Amino acid sequence: MSQLEIKDLHISIGEKSIVKGFNLTIKPGEVHAIMGPNGTGKSTLAKAIAGHPDYTITSGDVLLDGQSVLAMEPDERARTGLFLAFQYPSEIPGVSIANFLRAAVQARMAEGEELDATAYYKRLYTKMDMLKIDRKFTARAVNDGFSGGEKKRCEILQMAMLEPKIALMDETDSGLDIDALRIVAEGVNAIRAGAQPPGILLITHYQRLLDYIVPDFVHVMYAGRIVKSGDKHLALELEAKGYDWVKKEFAAATAS
């Protein structure tokens, strides 16, 4: 089981500084929820950790099991065990889910090792059944013409297939109807119940998701850093009161 350490991370897009001193350690198997107003840098944080080329890490470090991932290319980071469930997954016309996932699984095998196609499809269908995704989807192009909810389910399908050590889940609940939310949450909980549960960073705007995927910690992100941390009750408080009081506390603290 693995641990992710994010140390005093600063991230810029071009000249613009977005994440400013973000610190967090996710111990093995823990679920950390991150909440925060729009535009505060949550997706920036997740994508930069995954290695998106638009984002520059200006200082700080990200360690997976004590090893910095910052010098690695995005594909290496993924093979090392990082997984990002995107807020807005890309549509890839012409590339079927089956071929895409097979390429991702194959990329994790040793040179010269052959993929057992029967076993692969068996595993894929089991995970699809768990997430109540029609098996016909394997022939469809990745996210192409998918509804918002189908895209999010497809992200979790990938997470289930690739068995990451650390999963960064960016608003996986947005776009899901109530039934789909339950199905996706059950899928994530099934992954958590496995022998090697991943550490999870769960970005969300809605407390509702946290009823299903119960977090060990809840953090509020504002102006590029964590400004408040607590347990699951903090999410309920935010739901009731909004972010104004957090912003005020933060303004008072930084003014003094």
Partner 1 sequence: MSVSSPTAAVGSFTQAAFDAHLAKVSHLPAWWLDRKRAAYERFAVAPMPKRTNEGWRFSNLAALTLDGFNPAPAACPFAQMDHHELGVTGAGHLVFANNRLVASQPLAAEAAKQGIIFDTLQNALLKHGDLVRAHLLTQPSKLGSDKFAALHEAFLEDGAFIHVPKGVTAPLPVGVFHYACGDGTAVFPHTLVIAEDNAKITVADFFRTGSGASPAPRAFACGGNDLYAGHGASVTYVAMQDWSRETLSFQFNATLARRDARVLSLNLHAGARQARHESFSQLAAPGAHSEMLALTVAHGTQEFDQRTLQIHQAPNTSSNLLYKNALLDQAKTIFSGLIVVDADAQKTDAYQSNRNLMLSDDAEAHSLPGLEIQANDVRCTHGATSARIDREQEFYLESRGIKPAQAQELLVFGFFEEVLGKIEHQELHDTLTDIIREKFRA
Ligand X SMILES: Nc1ncnc2c1ncn2[C@@H]1O[C@H](COP(=O)(O)OP(=O)(O)OP(=O)(O)O)[C@@H](O)[C@H]1O
Residues that bind ligand X (CB under 6 A): 13, 18, 36, 38-44, 54, 87
DSSP 161-211: HH--SEEEEESTTTT--HHHHHHHHHHHHHHHTSSSPPEEEEE-S-HHHHH
Choose between 79 and 247: whose C-beta lies nearer to partner 1: 79
Pairwise CA distance, residues 192 & 177, whole Å? 22
Spell out a b/e string for 210-239, using b for 16 or more CB atoms within 10 Å of the CB, else e.
beebebebbbbbbbbbbbbeeebebbebbe
Smallest gap from Cβ 144 to ligand X, in A, equals 23
Q: Per CB under 8 A, does 158 bind partner 1?
A: yes
Q: Which does 18 bind (CB under 5 to 8 A by kind): partner 1, ligand X, Mg ion, none?
A: ligand X
Residues 88-107 binding partner 1 (CB under 8 A) are 89-95, 99-100, 103-104, 107
Residues near Mg ion, by CB under 5 A: 42-43, 87
Write the CA distances from 93 to 98, 102, 146, 183, integer angstroms: 13, 17, 11, 26
Q: Per CB under 8 A, does 50 bind partner 1?
A: yes
Q: Per CB under 8 A, does 52 bind partner 1?
A: yes
Q: Which does 38 bind (CB under 5 to 8 A by kind): Mg ion, partner 1, ligand X, none?
A: ligand X
Q: Which does 217 bind (CB under 5 to 8 A by kind): partner 1, ligand X, Mg ion, none?
A: none
Q: Which does 13 bind (CB under 5 to 8 A by kind): partner 1, ligand X, Mg ion, none?
A: ligand X
Binding site for partner 1 (CB under 8 A): 50-53, 73-75, 77-79, 83-84, 86, 89-95, 99-100, 103-104, 107-108, 141-142, 158, 162
